[in-house]
């Protein structure tokens, strides 16, 4: 039986910061279904104006929202502020994307009348958000869904409900009905009930592959329900020859350790050319040794905060020990920095000698290193995963990058850029265990409305010229 309450704790202090009752799925869905015809009947211009007002409400609440994100996730305040900016910027990106991806079109068909293409909203959309970007990532589903004419039931992660509640409040203050955007508080059982509910027309999910696969399996016999799965990655970063070694090392550290490694696009595996291995690893370790790990509001500001909770920290340290016992060579040990709080040092381990490297997403500041000799070997190693979210090549020639781009299986492929930090102005998504071929960000409009093709004439006109008996 589901818990009657959800409690949110600050990772950096362990203190309780929010408590709320678990919502009633049936009641929330019924309210959403009543609200949908009213919201869908609003002119597109009105819906766009209201989401723009939402952006202004977020601007007014920027400090409060950033503080909430920092407290509830543990991420540094500077990073929480960038998340709030992403929430604001998402609105104009979504307006442009809707016009581009789902605009109305008419084609003259001469005697056949006019052919038209328009789009309709699905109805009630369930948005299941993650804890690592508790405002930005669900917002990336909510805003496009609203513009298209859907209503939204937003279930935030049970680890970050306070941020979800404040985000929804900004929608309501903008003049969007509290029935058109509802927050559903609850844990995994509540999420499962929402996903399976007959009154829900679409599920927009961001989170782990384990949960995403369960959603996919649950809805496999219901092709009418839109499902967009944005899941994790076991992302490779390939390091090849470059004269700019210091910049390359910084890109590796950014890819692996930003957000304490709690990004679906974080680099999990560093694949290094053998001839530059010592120089690269020495540089990455020296930079990792300098990274400040601390609480969100510390001075000087930290680069990394804690991971989300002690259970996650325990799992990561156990994974490090497993890799060690399986033949891994430690380069920088993973250390629990504070008793009873989930602060971890960034860790680096060479797993070249591990016979069967686990193909899992280790969601934290743990970078695995593999040494290779040839570029084809590097590409094969990069593809040695069931995931396919992001991949980067650092260094190399334009010809190397062309080979890398053509052969690496991923939805985001970069050159001399980190694996993370994707732009909302481009499509975002992965293949394999990273997603179900429904890229979000700029292409979110594609799964928020479905196309309707029409042929139209002012008056009926038809005749049958063959196969009839004479009159």
Mean pLDDT of 436-461: 93
Percent of the chain with pLDDT strictly greater than 90: 94
Tally of CA atoms within 13 A in the half-sphere of 263 that contains its CB: 24
Catalytic residue numbers read: 230, 264
pLDDT digits (tens, 9 = 90+) for 285-334: 999 999 999 999 999 999 999 999 999 999 999 999 999 999 999 999 99
Percent of the chain with pLDDT strictly greater than 70: 99
Tell whether domain 5-231+435-456 is in CATH 3.40.50.300: no
Question: What does the pLDDT read at residue 107?
Answer: 82
Tally of CA atoms within 13 A in the half-sphere of 48 that contains its CB: 11
- Angle (CA) 161-390-219 rounded to 5° is 55
* Per-residue DSSP letter, 22: P
Among candidates 204, 265, 231, 189, which has minimal Cα distance to 435? 231
Q: How far apart are CA 214 and CA 229, in angstroms?
A: 11
Q: At which residue do the structure tokens 């504070």 appear? A: 338
Q: Does position 3 have pLDDT exceeding 70, yes or no?
A: no
Contact 137, 143 (CB under 8 A): no
What are 332's two structure tokens? 């920088």
Q: Between the CA of residue 202 and those of 127, 392, 422, 447, what are the distances in Å? A: 8, 32, 25, 9
Q: Does position 2 have pLDDT exceeding 60, yes or no?
A: no
Domain segments of the chain: what residues?
A: 5-231+435-456, 235-415
pLDDT digits (tens, 9 = 90+) for 103-162: 888 887 667 788 899 999 999 999 999 999 999 999 999 999 999 999 999 999 999 999
Q: Does position 283 have pLDDT exceeding 60, yes or no?
A: yes
CATH number for the segment(s) 235-415: 3.40.309.10
* Per-residue DSSP letter, 301: P
Q: How far apart are CA 384 and CA 388, in angstroms?
A: 10
């Amino acid at each position: 039986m589901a818990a009657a309450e959800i409690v949110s704790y600050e990772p950096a202090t362990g203190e309780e910061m929010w408590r709320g009752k678990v919502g009633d799925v049936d009641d929330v869905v019924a309210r959403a279904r009543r609200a949908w015809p009213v919201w869908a009947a609003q002119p597109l211009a009105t819906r766009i104006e209201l989401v723009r007002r939402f952006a202004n409400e977020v601007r007014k609440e920027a400090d409060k929202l950033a503080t909430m994100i920092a407290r509830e996730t543990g991420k540094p305040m500077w990073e929480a502020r960038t998340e709030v900016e992403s929430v604001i910027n998402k609105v104009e990106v979504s307006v442009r994307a809707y016009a581009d991806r789902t605009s109305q079109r008419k084609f003259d068909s001469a005697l056949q009348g006019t052919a038209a293409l328009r789009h309709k909203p699905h109805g009630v959309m369930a948005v299941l958000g993650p804890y690592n970007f508790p405002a930005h990532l669900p917002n990336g589903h909510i805003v496009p869904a609203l513009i298209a004419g859907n209503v939204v039931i937003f279930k935030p992660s049970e680890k970050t409900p306070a941020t979800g509640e404040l985000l929804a409040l900004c929608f309501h203050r903008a003049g969007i009905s509290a029935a058109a955007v509802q927050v559903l508080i609850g844990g995994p059982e509540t999420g499962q009930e929402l996903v399976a509910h007959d009154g829900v027309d679409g599920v927009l999910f961001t989170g782990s592959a384990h949960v995403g696969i369960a959603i996919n399996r649950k809805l496999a016999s219901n092709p009418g329900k839109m499902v967009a799965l944005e899941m994790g990655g076991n992302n490779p970063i390939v390091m090849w020859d470059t004269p700019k070694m210091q910049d390359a090392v910084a890109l590796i550290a950014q890819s692996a350790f930003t957000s304490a490694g709690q990004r679906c696009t974080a680099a999990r595996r560093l694949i290094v050319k053998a001839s530059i291995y010592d120089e690269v690893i020495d540089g990455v370790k020296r930079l990792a040794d300098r990274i400040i790990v601390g609480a969100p509001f510390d001075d000087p500001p930290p680069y990394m905060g804690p991971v989300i909770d002690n259970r996650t920290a325990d799992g990561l340290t156990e994974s490090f020990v497993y890799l060690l016992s399986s033949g891994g060579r430690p380069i920088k040990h993973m250390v629990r920095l504070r008793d009873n709080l989930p602060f971890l040092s960034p860790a680096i381990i060479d797993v070249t000698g591990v016979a069967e490297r686990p193909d899992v997403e280790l969601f934290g500041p743990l970078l695995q290193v593999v040494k290779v000799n040839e570029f084809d070997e590097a590409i094969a190693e990069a593809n040695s995963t069931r995931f396919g979210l992001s991949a980067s090549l650092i260094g190399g020639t334009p010809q190397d990058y062309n080979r890398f781009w053509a052969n690496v299986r991923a939805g985001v492929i970069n050159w001399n850029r980190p694996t993370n930090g994707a732009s909302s102005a481009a499509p975002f998504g992965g293949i394999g265990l990273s997603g179900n071929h429904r890229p979000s960000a700029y292409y979110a409009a594609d799964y928020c409305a479905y196309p309707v093709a029409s042929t139209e004439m002012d008056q009926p006109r038809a005749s049958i010229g063959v196969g009839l008996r004479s009159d």
